[in-house]
Chain A
Amino acid sequence: MVKAGLRNGYMLLLFIIFSVVLNEIILLGNDLIAQAADGVMGGQQVDFEAFMTPLLRMIVLGTAAAYLKGIFSNHYSAMVQRDVRASLGKHLVRLPFSYFDEMGSGSIITRLISDMDELGRFFSEILPNLLVNLIVVVTATIYLVQMDALLIVVLFASYPVMLIVADRLSKKLAQIAQKLRTHMDECNKKAYDAIQGIVIGRSYNLYEVQKKEIDTVIDRKVDQACRSTRISSMGWVLKNVITTIPVIVCYLFALYETMQGRITVGEMLAFTVVLSRILYPIGDIVFCANDIREAAVSLRRIQEIYNQKEEQTGGRVQTLPDCSKDLPAIEWNNVSFGYSSSGDHPVLNGMSFGIETGEQTAFVGGSGEGKSTIFKLLCGFYDRDNGQYRLFGHPFEEWDLEAARSCFSEVSQNVFLFPGTIRQNVACGKEYATDEEVVMACRNANIHDFIIQLPDGYETIVGERGVRLSGGQRQRISIARAFLKDAPILLLDEPTAAVDVEAEQKIQEAVERIASGRTVIVIAHRLSTVRNAKRIYVVNGGKIAESGTHRELMERRGIYAEMYAKG
């Protein structure tokens, strides 16, 4: 973020240059007028034409400078925003999966929207404002020093007090701003939640309940906002009183200096004019701190996202080893893992297993036993807490994450469909997939016939959560994606649940087609579907309780046999 600010710094520099030019023009004009005033006081006649020509020239130059100044400051802001957006997008996709699990994407979205807004404001308003004010004050101060240095001493003598007051106030205000933002987040999250769950809300008549909840959150936010105006308005009153006293002192002092003959009446006139010009900027600079603190809350939160460590990239193993055929695809030794960072409630508790290349392996076990967690760890979405994990013979840490993930494709019903066409959704399985490849993959996944009977065929738009496609159809789209990806290991989640007989046949066919020649790992709930697996692991209590073929396990009369009897 700071980098984006600096990279486009030349725009800011140009902006500063033209601001200085504009100010110098104004001060020059001022000088001209002060001289004329002294002339008038001295009883001379004013040569109107000689007086107006330089003024007109100044107006033209000033207008041009103002235009360029505006262009550069606005462009600067837009460019920084553009760069931040671009790098943020890239950064987001590289963040570890766990970050999104913890944050919830709703809160990330609102954060990004309103904070990007604030960021835009910082670069388009707050920062240029501060700079303009600084430039006005500095140039005017130099101008005044040349006239009478003592005046400046008097003017600035009382400012330390103001600085202290302003500092206190703005700290307080920053706290309030932070609180207000949290309330806003809360508010948006609540509304987002209600709309995401509208099906439940509607069928359970939750409208009144949820409205009340949202209203309460909004009211709390409004209260917070009202409280903050009391404090900030008091700040403004104080600011004005504090700034006005030195000004009055200055006027009186200027009057005294004039009476003493140290400055002319014309100069005093110039002084009052310039003073009234810098009065507002001087007060504003001090109080700019408020704005900056408020913006800093947003900037810090964006920075927070930036500071999130990206998933490590690089790693010794960049491609699949040649000898992969002979190596076991996956070996786990004593792997432990829990979602809470404190290490409480481990989901996996010293789990060990091996998966041979080219074989079909199934995991069975009660729900909540951590079968899906195994998949998440296999793909490196989470880091295990303890134990070893080898992928094709190499320790997982040595793998480049992207390369490791290219070994896996996942087939499941809970696939996410991007808002876009079916073609785009399938094509995301492979970079630069051609239309032919997409169609081929869909044929292989037994979904082609369904797609072409849709009015728009492959160009049919699927919704955010693929509302209009059934679980079976979505599963087949995920199979088509997997065909395109052509990865050596296939993760199959609940392959045949929740589809009718005919669709099940189609899916079964497609699954068999994609499974051939690959290492297949199945999470199964229907024991009937895993009978043909080369090896079955029974997960219980975060460990592998039993393993073997169907026949072996049945003979063992353990957990598996019991489950099978029930199913």
Chain B
Amino acid sequence: MRKCMQKGEVNTFFRFMGLMGDRLPVYLGAILVSTLGDAGRRIANSYLIKNIVTAAQDRNTDNVLLPVLENFVVFVVCLLLWRFGIIRYNIEGRKGAGKVEKLVFSKAMRLPMSYYENNHSSDFMSRLIFDTQKASDIYTSRLRRLLAAIISTIVYLIPMFYFSWELTLCMIGISLLVFAVDSFFAKPLKKAGSRLSDKNKIMLEKLTSILSGMELIKIFPVGAKLTAEYETTGREYFQIQKSTNRLSAGLESLNQMFDLIGALAFLGLGIWFVSQGRVSLGALTALYSLYGTFRNAFLEIGQYLPQMMNCIANAEKIFAFIDMDEEPEQWEQESAQDSCHDSMTDTKDEIMLSVRNVSFSYDCAGDSGRKVLEQFSMEVKKGSYVAVVGESGCGKSTLAKLLLGFYPVESGSMSIGGKEYQNFTLKGIRQQIAYVPQEPYLYEVSIAQNIAYGRCGASREEVVLAAKAANAHEFIIRLPDGYDTVLGERGNTLSGGERQRIAIARAIIRDAPVMILDEATSALDNESESLVQEAVKKLRGDRTILMIAHRPSTIAAADVVIRVGV
């Protein structure tokens, strides 16, 4: 089996099996037990037939009943063995599949920020759902099917040789031909599989566009165009399916041909052998009944091998995903610093945030190399309330992202609380900052949970307090389930201002020394804005607040105004 696989695939396969860890021996053992149970029951059946046909041929029924009973007992024992194995196997397989899923999902959360900004998130959906499902099929069905086919093929050969070695050899000859044909088909089928999966991804992206852009579709005449695009991709998918179908039907029919050759020609040959007295009719019938299952098992190798290959292609994609660079613990390490404490030094340093000569550009297609920030410097005193202003697109939001460590700076340096950024882990930096982004995301959990995400282990009282401070309490308790209201996707049933206030409550509960609000009050009306402003002011204490803003009223409330611009 392995011979016709490429080396890369073998490696992928072993690596994928390696993910099972300690469970692997139990898993493989369970496959073996269940297979032997299944094969045993079929062999018992063939002996049963042999006994009966021999009796008919000899016209002697005296010694029939006892062997029949014996065979039946063996049969039941084998079945129970099978069940024991299959349950164990399923448990281990499912757990393995769960492990893969955990691995992929957690990986998806650890990529560098640039990945999320450059990739359509249906990319993840496709990868996570389609590829993980297909790859996990290796654990939960594909491998067992293949191994079961191989093991039982071997097991069936033993009684078959015993019944008639000449005929069995003939069958092995036919089977080898089948094998050659199957491996000939394996590669193009695999290729077709990954083409299908690629097309599937595009189809998914189109579908996501339709679903997420629903509001636009309702107002602008794009619905027809988008569905047409979706349909076109669907049709292209269909075309690939069609050529794949021709391949698989070809394979199927060749297998059927060998099946026929086996069944008809072999039986014909068998009768000839019987007429020559080389085989008894009973043995021939038993051999034939076993040959049916042997043939099935053998053809299954041919069937399941390409399927397995397809799944390995999916596993390869998953590994490519898993092997991507993650966001590191910290961007650069100062060699002198052997250990970094994430707590801030408790110096009486007056400067909370310091940015010195920082340059930065997003290096991706589209705006390659355009410097978003060039030689930018600023200093923010502890406890001050700073408004960051500048033209749109000048890098205000980028500044916030750099401060949060979403990207490494190209040149220059930054410090927080008097401690250089490179002495912090990224996690440590983020502990110092409560951030409210421009478009705050609300998770599909309860409002209370959304706020509590701000700080691990926050109590309900603290959540309510924070909501009150953010001027959100009033509207939350008016909702049907109050704080336990589960938000629909992207908090659709709340207005922009309401969502923003929940996000602000989340930032408030974080209780971090620095608070960065990226146009956080922009979607609020005058009244709620002034209330939030008040809340923010009340909260100040020692906190340093960085407010990216446009409104004169926001800017007016600040102690200091910093202008960003190239």
Answer yes or no: do A and B interact: yes
B262 to chain A, nearest CB (A): 10
CB neighbours of A470 from chain B (8 A): 392-393, 397
Q: In the docked arrangement, what's the CA distance between A45 and B475, Å?
A: 97
Q: Contacts A269-B53, A563-B527 given: A471-B522 contact, CB under 8 Å?
A: yes
Kindly identify which residue among A248, A265, A372 contacts B68, using a CB–CB cutoff of 8 Å: A248
Additional A-B contacts beyond A273-B288, A471-B438, A481-B220 (20; CB < 8 A): A55-B268, A62-B260, A63-B253, A63-B257, A67-B253, A67-B256, A109-B125, A202-B406, A222-B95, A233-B87, A234-B83, A268-B56, A276-B289, A340-B480, A367-B523, A406-B221, A414-B439, A416-B215, A468-B367, A498-B523
Query: Does B383 reach chain A (CB closer than 8 Å)?
Result: no
Of B116, B261, B433, B490, which one neighbours A203 at CB under 8 angstroms?
Answer: B433
Contacts of B101 in A (CB 8 A): 187, 218
Size class of A's contact patch?
35 or more
Enumerate A200-254 residues with CB–CB distance to B below 8 Å: 200-207, 209-211, 214-215, 218-219, 221-222, 225-226, 229-230, 233-234, 236-237, 240-241, 244, 248, 251-252, 254
Given A197-B443, A200-B441, do A345 and B238 touch, yes or no (CB 8 Å)?
Answer: no
Q: How far is the CA of A46 from the CA of B133 in the complex (A)?
A: 55
Interface of B is mostly: helix
Task: For the complex of A and B, list the 6 residue pairs with the smallest distance between their C-beta atoms, beginning with the closest.
Answer: A367-B497, A498-B522, A70-B249, A104-B489, A67-B253, A66-B256
Inter-chain contact A89/B234, CB cutoff 8 Å: yes
Chain A 185-205: CB-based contact to B (< 8 A → 1; otherwise 0): 001110111111111111111
Q: Is the CB of A74 within 8 A of B245?
A: yes
Interface 1/0s, chain B 156-168, versus A by CB < 8 A?
A: 0000000000000
Q: Is the CB of B265 within 8 A of A345?
A: no
* Shortest CB distance B8–A (Å): 26
Residues in B neighbouring A114, C-beta threshold 8 A: 129, 133
A416 with B212: CB separation less than 8 A: yes
A467-B437 in contact (CB<8A): no
Tell me the count of chain B residues lying within 8 A, CB to CB, of chain A.
Answer: 169
> By the criterion CB–CB under 8 Å, are A366 and B525 in contact?
yes
* Residues 410-450 of B contacting A (Cβ, < 8 Å): 427, 430-431, 433, 435, 437-445
Is the CB–CB distance between A97 and B210 below 8 Å? no
Interface residues of A in 161-206 (CB under 8 A from B): 187-189, 191-206
Decide: A226 near B91, CB < 8 A? Known: A62-B257, A188-B129, A471-B519.
Answer: yes
Q: Which residue of B lies closest to A56 (CB)?
A: B265
Contact A500 B525 (CB under 8 A): no
* Cβ proximity bits B54-70 to A, threshold 8 Å, 1 near / 0 not: 01110101001000100
Evaluate contact between B550 and A498: CB separation under 8 angstroms: yes
Given contacts A58-B264, A109-B207, A203-B430, contact A273 B285 (CB under 8 A): yes
Q: Does B453 sit at the interface, judged by CB under 8 A? A: yes
Chain A positions within 8 Å of B155 at CB level = none
Q: Which of B205, B231, B264 has the most CB of A within 10 A?
A: B264
Q: Mark B174-197, 1 if CB is under 8 A from A, else 0.
A: 000000000000000000000000
A282 interface residue per 8 A CB criterion:
no
Contacts of B281 in A (CB 8 A): 37, 41, 265, 269
What 1/0 mask marks residues of chain B from 230 to 250 whose CB sits below 8 Å from any chain A CB?
110011011001101110111
A494 interface contact, C-beta 8 A: yes
Closest partner residue, chain A, to B92 (CB atom): A226
A152 within 8 A of B: no
CA of A108 to CA of B116, assembled, Å: 22
- B256 with A62: CB separation less than 8 A: yes
Which chain B positions have C-beta within 8 A of A563? Answer: 526-527
Contact indicator per residue, chain A 454-491, by CB within 8 Å of chain B (1) or not (0): 11100011011101101111000000010001000000
Cα A464 to Cα B490 in complex, Å, equals 14
In the complex, whether A558 has a CB less than 8 A from a CB of chain B is: no
Q: Do B441 and A199 touch (CB < 8 A)?
A: yes
Question: Can you list 29 A-B pairs, Cβ within 8 angstroms, ordered by A?
Answer: A48-B272, A63-B253, A67-B252, A70-B252, A71-B246, A89-B210, A89-B234, A92-B227, A94-B223, A102-B488, A105-B489, A191-B105, A191-B124, A193-B445, A195-B108, A197-B441, A203-B406, A203-B430, A214-B106, A215-B102, A225-B90, A230-B87, A244-B72, A255-B64, A379-B218, A464-B208, A494-B523, A497-B551, A525-B526
Contact A226 B253 (CB under 8 A): no
Quick check: is B524 within 8 A (CB to CB) of the other chain? yes
- Given A63-B254, A101-B492, answer yes or no on A193-B444 (Cβ-Cβ < 8 Å): yes
- Chain A residues whose C-beta falls within 8 Å of the C-beta of B479 in the assembled complex: 345
Min CB–CB distance B77 → chain A (angstroms)? 11
Cβ of A428 within 8 Å of any chain B Cβ, yes or no, is: yes
Docked pose: A419 CA to B226 CA in angstroms: 11
- The answer to whether A147 has its CB under 8 Å from any CB of chain B is no
- What are the residues of chain B within 8 A of A498 when measuring CB–CB? 438, 519, 522-523, 550-551
Out of B91, B241, B268, which one reaches A36, CB within 8 Å? B268
Main secondary structure of the interface of A (DSSP, over half): helix
Cα-based distance from A521 to B148 in the complex (angstroms) = 70
- Once bound together, how far apart are the Cα atoms of A450 and B214, in whole Å? 27
* Selected interface stretch from A76-84, A293-301, A315-323: A76-84
Q: Shortest beta-carbon distance, B119 to chain A, in Å?
A: 8
Distance (Å) between the CB of B489 and the closest chain A CB?
3
B557 within 8 A of A: no
Interface residues of B in 507-536 (CB under 8 A from A): 510, 519, 522-530
Tell me the complex Cα distance, A345–B439, Å.
Answer: 26
CB distance from A286 to the nearest CB of B (A): 17
**Interface status of B547 (Cβ within 8 A of chain A):** no
B residues near A450, Cβ cutoff 8 Å: 393
Which of A345, A450, A465 has the most B CB atoms < 10 Å from its CB? A465
> Smallest CB–CB gap between B49 and chain A, Å?
6
With a CB–CB cut-off of 8 A, which chain A residues contact B130?
113
Chain B residues with CB under 8 Å of A240's CB are 41, 79
Shortest beta-carbon distance, B70 to chain A, in Å? 12
Q: Which residues of A contact B525 (CB under 8 A)?
A: 364-367, 525
Within B16-67, the residues touching A (CB, 8 Å) are: 41, 45, 48-49, 52-53, 55-57, 59, 61, 64
Min CB–CB distance A524 → chain B (angstroms): 8
User: Contact between A78 and B241 (Cβ–Cβ < 8 Å)?
Assistant: yes
Check A2 for interface membership: any CB of B closer than 8 A: no
Closest approach, in angstroms, between the C-beta of A351 and any C-beta of chain B? 16
What separation, in Å, do the CA atoms of A265 and B218 have in the docked complex? 75
Cβ contact within 8 Å between B441 and A100: no
Q: Tell me which residues from 523 to 566 in chain B have a Cβ below 8 Å from any Cβ of chain A.
A: 523-530, 550-551, 553
Query: What string of 1s and 0s marks CB contacts (under 8 Å) between A50-69 and chain B?
Result: 01100110110011101101
**Which A residues lie within 8 Å of B110 (CB)?**
207
* A443 in the interface (beta carbon within 8 A): no
| Complex: A372 Cα to B494 Cα, angstroms | 10
- A500 CA to B551 CA, complexed, in Å: 7
Q: Kindly name the residue among B98, B370, B492 whose own CB sees the greatest number of chain A CB atoms within 10 A.
A: B98
Interchain CB contact under 8 A, B204 and A109 = yes
**C-alpha gap A37/B110 in the complex (Å):** 70
Q: Is A154 an interface residue (CB 8 A)?
A: no
Residues of B within 8 A of A117 (CB): 133
A1 partner residues in chain B, CB cutoff 8 A = none
B101-136 interface mask toward A, CB cutoff 8 Å, 1 = contact, 0 = none? 110011011100100111011101100111001000
